[in-house]
């Protein structure tokens, strides 16, 4: 077996670049699609792994009227950076979190008839999602908005329209309140779901809510993830790489080892997906390890050759399709701790 050992070199395991310019352009694309309906940028889960504070600033600066998060602690982090902006907490809040929300001027989404006092509330109605929500409107002076969540805006238009119709029936007498239904998928392709505001998450990051090529809806991925070849070796016929010997060479085969694995957020189930090595598409082979993955090379390449894991035509949608997952999950799993990756923020 021929082997080129990895030389010691002072480089990061991988590098994640967030392009806030792409976020700004995606917000403007959504605003054009919404045609007058307000856009609220969803930045929960640290901005789908992109950085909540950075994305919130870019979205608000490009026309978003509010930002939405899942928890009160997420909202409090944003409140320090955006003292005057509208921040909506989508998930349930109880006890001390309600008091913190009141003190910080946050808005809460409530799914029960118990409305907290002295805090702005959005009443959530269950029109078919089968999760949080009431079956009818209750009245309280704290309620400033009415909302529901679509279960199939990305997959079943008829069911989504039935939800919209049900919401309209429940809220037609309350048009003086802010009504919001649309998510990213509905904002792009379901105009019937436009009311006063749309809560858009995945699309502002340039990810497709339909699992398709994002460019089909004019979206531009904001995240780029790159690494390098840390080792290159030649497998002879019958030799394998990785746990379980899932890839066994049938002929002399060059493989490259990339210092990224499922602990970094590259899904273990994505064996068989394609990345780009030195500008060329290469297949991920063998079992993806905690800290490493292998790619099949067409020829011997030098150590340090660049590897694009996401970006430049390599999409999270593609990886998700191979892994049997969705781009939302993959984006939020990418690890950005400095000991795992270097994170760069640019504004193109």
Name the catalytic one among 44, 124, 205, 328: 44
Query: Catalytic residue among 124, 132, 233, 243, which?
Result: 243
DSSP annotation string for 293-304: EEEEESS---TT
Q: Please, which residues have CB within 8 angstroms of residue 340's CB and are 6 or more apart in sequence?
A: 13, 14, 263, 264
Q: Residue 66: name the closest of 83, 38, 86 by CA.
A: 86
Q: Is 243 a catalytic residue?
A: yes
Q: Are 255 and 241 in contact (CB under 8 A)?
A: yes
Contacts (Cβ under 8 Å, ≥6 apart) of 111: 92, 124, 126, 132, 133, 134
44 is catalytic: yes
Which tokens in the block code for residue 101?
């929300």
Which sign, positive or negative, has the C-alpha torsion 315, 318, 323, 327?
positive
Tokens of 94: 């109880």
CA dist., res. 65 & res. 69, Å (int): 14
- Give the Å distances, CA to CA, from 76 to 21, 86, 123: 25, 12, 21
Give the residue numbers annotated as catalytic, written as ranges.
44, 243
């Amino acid at each position: 077996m021929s082997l080129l050992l990895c030389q010691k070199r002072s480089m990061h395991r991988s590098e994640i670049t967030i392009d806030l310019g792409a976020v700004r352009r995606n917000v403007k694309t959504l605003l054009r699609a919404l045609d007058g309906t307000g856009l609220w940028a969803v930045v929960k889960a640290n901005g789908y792994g992109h950085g909540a504070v950075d994305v919130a600033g870019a979205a608000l600066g490009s026309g978003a009227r509010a930002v939405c998060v899942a928890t009160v602690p997420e909202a409090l982090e944003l409140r320090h950076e955006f003292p005057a902006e509208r921040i909506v907490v989508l998930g349930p809040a109880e006890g001390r979190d309600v008091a913190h929300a009141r003190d910080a001027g946050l808005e809460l989404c409530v799914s029960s008839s118990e409305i907290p006092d002295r805090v702005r509330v959005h009443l959530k109605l269950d029109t078919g999602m089968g999760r949080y929500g009431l079956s009818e409107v209750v009245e309280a002076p704290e309620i400033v908005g009415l909302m529901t969540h679509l279960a199939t805006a990305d997959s079943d238009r008829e069911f989504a329209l039935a939800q919209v119709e049900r919401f309209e029936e429940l809220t037609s007498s309350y048009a003086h309140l802010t009504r919001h239904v649309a998510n990213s998928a509905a904002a792009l392709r379901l105009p019937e779901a436009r009311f006063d505001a749309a809560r858009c998450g995945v699309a502002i990051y340039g990810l497709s809510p339909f699992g398709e090529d994002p460019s089909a809806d004019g979206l531009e991925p904001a995240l780029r993830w790159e690494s390098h070849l840390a080792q290159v070796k030649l497998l002879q016929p019958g030799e394998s790489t990785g746990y379980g010997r899932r890839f066994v060479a049938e002929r002399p085969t060059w493989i490259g080892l990339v210092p990224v694995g499922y602990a970094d957020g590259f899904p273990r189930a994505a064996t068989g997906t394609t990345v780009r090595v030195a500008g060329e598409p290469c297949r991920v082979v063998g079992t993806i390890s905690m800290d490493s993955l292998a790619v099949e090379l067409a020829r011997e390449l030098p150590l340090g050759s660049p590897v694009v894991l996401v970006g430049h035509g390599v999409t999270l949608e593609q990886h998700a399709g191979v892994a049997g997952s969705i781009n939302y999950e993959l984006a939020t799993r990418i690890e950005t701790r400095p000991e795992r990756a270097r994170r760069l923020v640019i504004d193109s």
